[in-house]
Structures are given as structure tokens and as C-alpha cells.
Amino acid sequence: MTFHAQAAWLDGRAVADVRISTVAGRITALTPGTPAEPGDEVLTGLVFPGFANAHSHAFHRGLRGRTHGDGGTFWTWRTAMYSLAGSLTPDTYRDLATAAFTEMVLAGFTAVGEFHYVHHRPDGTPHDEPNAFALALRDAARTAGIRLVLLDTLYLTSAPGEPPLPEQRRFSDGSAQAWARRVKQIPADEFFRVGVAAHSVRAVGPADLSVVAETAWDLGAPVHVHLSEQPAENEACRRAYGCTPTELLDRAGALSPALTVVHANHVTDADVALLGARQASVAGCPTTEADLGDGVGRYRALVDAGSVLALGTDQHAVVDPFAETRGLEGASRLGSLRRGVFSPAELVAALTTGGHRSLGLEGGSLQVGQPADLVAVRTDSVRTAGSDPAQLAMTAAAQDVTDVVVAGEFRVRGGVHLAVPGERLVEILRSLP
């Protein structure tokens, strides 16, 4: 199939009239400055490489609009999250994840990293199929038409040295070794990759962090971890281990270019230097961090030190890649008292090349040999009309995404998902308890 882009994002800039030839889901030729030919699939607006959502908890989508009544903190929000997690079955999670993943595809995401820690029955006993929840997520991603990297998450303690709380028992495999054995049984394919994660240094101790790193090495997989999202996490780590969470990861041999740290809102100058020296990725989730009152991440400092920036929608208070780019830049401006902390091209890179690197995936750029994952964004909407196309990352919204192509096939056309009707999404979300 051959697509004709009215304009396409090539090498960090908008280029007019680009024909994109594809075979077997990959780009075989790019021809700028060429008019459409008969038979071309015409994509209007500006065509970007597919966006990668580097950090997702699909079931958190069920909390949207349900946790704001009493204010509170991250820790009070967590109570509501545990209640929702406790109600899930593989079937209900499949439905909820189908809605979450479909919303992502409609917004322009063609790949997602699912930070997955709901593993077992509420009392902690395994299902007959130990990976029933993982396979439910796989099925949901297939229905939505999104590439899924399942970041299967080790979760053993409620705090350093403390057993899981009753509401956390279904997250735990009992030991890092049992977790690793289960993870290695998950069947992967071209659109469903398996990665690993440690939930946090609250939930995984130093010896078990090493098991996570070793398992990632064995699988050739990316590894993710929540890092310094809250000051209380840092304080608990210092009390237990005499160091910051970043330093603990380094002692465990977990800091590497294969690692993505999520949030990093409360890292020290020494942490920033260490993460940059190890070339770890950092996944910012600005809309979630604002929603939960987490604080402002030190993303400019981390990138300047050598880290690679990615973006995620995390708890899905909003599913909009451009809300994340504006949230990142807006928070950075508020923290630094200056504009243009990140250039529009850097923000696009966080959604594309940075996100794919974080997930260990090919893609993120329009180049010959890369996956044919394409996102067409309107340049003539009430939000984008008059914008410099190079600055759409600061003006567009998810509603401006008209067409989404994954592996050379349309998943969204004219703003409509081709496999999951909008009324089905509404039905799923209205059925939540």
C-alpha cells in the first residue's frame, strides 16, 4: 500500500507532499515533493510517526472522574485505586483495557507500555492460567490494534521489609524467582512483546531488584520502575537503605540504557547525574503528575545529563499525546520561569523515538525499513489553523487525529476506530461498578 501525506514529519521537521510506500507493514520508500498518484491513500494534515505511550496502567482508566470529590493526596487516591483493582477479573479487565487501548489508538498512540501488576486472585492465589490477566491485556490490545509491550511487574512488599497489605496480595508472586518463572511463560509475538518492571523500591528490595535486571537481560527486554514519585518514597528508602532510590538501583546493577524510570519527580542533583551517566530513559506523565499532585519532574536537567525522554498517560486522567507535551512544557516553564524549556521537535521526539526506545521497539521515525505506523493530524481545526506545522505539539489535541495506521493498515479512519464502535466504549465504561 502507498500513502500520500500532505505533509510528513521527516528528520524533525514538516516536509510537504511525501509518498510513503509500504510492503508487509514496513516502509519501503519515502519520496518527498511528489504529488499523489491514483490509488494512493491520501492522508491530510501533518503525518507523524506513530506515538508510543511509554507508561500505562489500563485499569486506572476506570477511576477517571471518580476521585476528585474529597481532594486528598496521592495516598488517598491510592485507596480508590486498590478498591478498583480488587474488583477486577480477567474478563472485566479485558473489557476495560479494550476501552483504554482503543481510546489511545484514537488519540494517535500506536504502541503502549503496560505497567502490569494485577496478576492473581484477590487472595493472592494464581488463576488456573497463571498469566490470565496478561493474556486478557494481549487480547484487548489486539482488538484495539495497538502494539503492546507488557511490562510485567514484580511487587513483593508494602514498604521495605514489610509484607504486602491485604489489598496488595493479588499483585505479588511471593518471591522474585516465582515471578521470573511466570513471566518467562508468557507467549510473545510481533505485536505483543514482554518486558519487565519493578514496581518501586517500596515494593522490591535490593536483592530482588537484581533478579529483575537479570530477567530483563535473559529476555532481551526493557525494564521499567516507578522512581521518586513521592517524597515519602525517598524518605523510606533512606531509612531502610541509607541512600536514594536511584542509588539503590545503581547498587543493584539496574541502571542501564535498557532502564526507564517513571516520574523521577523528586530526584537529587546526584541522582540526575547518575541517571544521565547510565543513559537511562525517563518517562514523564505530566497529566497524571498534575492530577495526583506529584510535583514537577526535573526533565530538562535529566535530558541535559544524558537521559532520553519519553511520555506516558499513566492513570489516563487524559488520553491525549498533545496534552502530555503541553503539560511537560507548561510545568517546566512554571518551574524555571522561562519559555521554551523544550523545543517542539524535542516534544515530538519524546512521543516518537524516545517512547519507542523506552519500550525496546523499532519505530518512532519515518524511515525506510521502519514499521509503517502513521498518525495524521489536522492542521485546519479550530485548534491548529494558523499554527506553524512544526509547532503542532503545542497546539493540537487528540480530537485532531484523523487517521491512524499500524503496520500499514488503517486502525482509525476519519476519526472513527474501525474495529471498536464508539458506543461500545461508552457501554464498557458505563458498566463499571
Same domain, 109 and 208: yes
Same domain, 311 and 407: no
Same domain, 162 and 269: yes
Predicted model pTM: 0.97
Same domain, 176 and 217: yes
Domain count, the chain: 2
Same domain, 254 and 372: no
Same domain, 21 and 103: no
Same domain, 276 and 413: no
Q: Is 170 a domain residue?
A: yes
The 3-state secondary structure of 275-312 reads HHHCCCEEEECHHHHHHHCCCCCCHHHHHHHCCEEEEC
Instruction: Give the pLDDT score at 174.
Output: 97
Same domain, 352 and 384: no
Sequence-distant (6+) residues with CB within 8 A of 393 are 322, 325, 326, 344, 347, 348, 351
Residue 260 has pLDDT above 80, yes or no: yes
* Helix, coil or strand: residue 372: coil
What would the mean pLDDT of 371-391 be, rounded to a whole number?
A: 98
Residues of the domain holding 169: 51-359
For the chain, give the mean pLDDT.
96
Cell of 290: 498534575
Find, among 54, 52, 33, 22, the residue nearest to 262 by Cα: 54
Q: What is the pLDDT of residues 42-84, one digit of tens each?
A: 999 999 999 999 999 999 999 998 888 777 788 788 888 999 9
Q: Is 74 a domain residue?
A: yes
Q: What is the pLDDT of residues 329-363, one digit of tens each?
A: 999 999 999 999 999 999 999 999 999 999 999 99
Residue 3 has pLDDT above 80, yes or no: yes
- Active-site annotation, residues: 263, 314
Please state, for a pLDDT cut of 70, what percent of the chain lies above it: 100
Residue 289 has pLDDT above 90, yes or no: yes
Q: Is 349 a domain residue?
A: yes
What would the mean pLDDT of 74-97 be, rounded to a whole number?
A: 92
**Could you tell me the CATH number of the domain that includes residue 411?**
2.30.40.10
Q: Out of 313, 331, 359, pick the residue that ends a domain.
A: 359
**Could you tell me the CATH number of the domain that includes residue 185?**
3.20.20.140
Q: Out of 341, 359, 377, pick the residue that ends a domain.
A: 359
Question: Which of the four pLDDT bands, split at 50, 70 and 90, describes residue 384?
Answer: very high
Same domain, 305 and 273: yes
Same domain, 71 and 10: no
Same domain, 204 and 340: yes
Nearest 5 degrees, angle CA 351-CA 277-CA 330?
Answer: 35
* Helix, coil or strand: residue 10: strand
Same domain, 223 and 279: yes
Instruction: Give the pLDDT score at 390.
Output: 96
